[in-house]
Amino acid sequence: MLVPGVEIPHLCFQCEGYPCVQACPVEALSVNSKTGAVKVDATKCTACGLCIKACPGRVPHLHPKRNHILICDLCEGKPECVKACKEGRWNALVSIQRSKVASRRTLAKSPHILTSEVARRMLGEEITEEVLD
In degrees and rounded to multiples of 5, residue 69 shows phi and psi of -80, 150
What is the set of domains in the chain, with CATH numbers?
19-124 (3.30.70.20)
Cα distance between residue 3 and residue 13, in whole Å: 23
Dihedral angle sign, alpha carbons of residues 110, 4, 9, 64: positive
In sequence order, the β-bridge partners of residue 70 are 61
Q: How do residues 62-112 score in pLDDT, each as one tens digit? A: 998 999 999 988 898 899 989 998 999 988 788 877 666 665 555 667 777
Share of the chain above pLDDT 90, in %: 41
- Please give the DSSP secondary-structure letter assigned to residue 56: T
Model confidence at 130, pLDDT cuts 50, 70, 90, reads: low
Share of the chain above pLDDT 70, in %: 83
Tell me if residue 126 falls in helix, strand or coil: coil
Q: How far is CA 64 from the centre of its chain?
A: 17
| Contact in structure between 103 and 116 (CB atoms under 8 Å) | no
Neighbours of 69 (CB within 10 A): 26
Q: How far is CA 117 from the centre of its chain?
A: 16
